[in-house]
Amino acid sequence: MKLTLRKCDDIGDWYVIERAEHDGRSWFEPVAKNAMSLQCSSRFSDADVEGFAFEMLEIAAAIEQRGRASFKRCRVDATGEPVRFSSPRNSQRDGECSLQEADELAAEIRRVLAAVEIP
């Protein structure tokens, strides 16, 4: 599965890691009695893996170094295969991809953020 980094138009310095190809659907899934969770076809986890540009650069570095990085709404564990992503605040289930796919994502993150001024 090819992943990409998308800038959120409504929030200044905010980015989301998501599927590069998806159909744009969203729906609700039951998660417990009287509890629903909004799901989106763009997500590769059960929650958005999102954060500031500097956090995305740390995610890229962790992938490249086969390490870990964790922030409030984005986390990666690239110490083995599969590479696992999640939102520590919101995820119940990790998103997974291969090391090759994660390496491609790291290159995409660096390309997208190359011209961004990091606060």
**Residue range 103-109: average pLDDT?**
96
- What does 4-61 look like in DSSP terms, one character per residue? EEEE-SSSTT-EEEEESS----EEEEEEETTEEEEEETT-SSSS-EEE-HHHHHHHHH
Band the pLDDT of 85: cuts 50, 70, 90.
very high
pLDDT the model gives residue 15 = 93
**Residue range 52-79: average pLDDT?**
96
Domain range summary for the chain, segments of one domain joined by +: 3-113
The order of strands in the sheet holding 49-51 is 3-7, 15-19, 49-51
Band the pLDDT of 31: cuts 50, 70, 90.
confident
Task: Provide the whole-model pTM.
Answer: 0.84
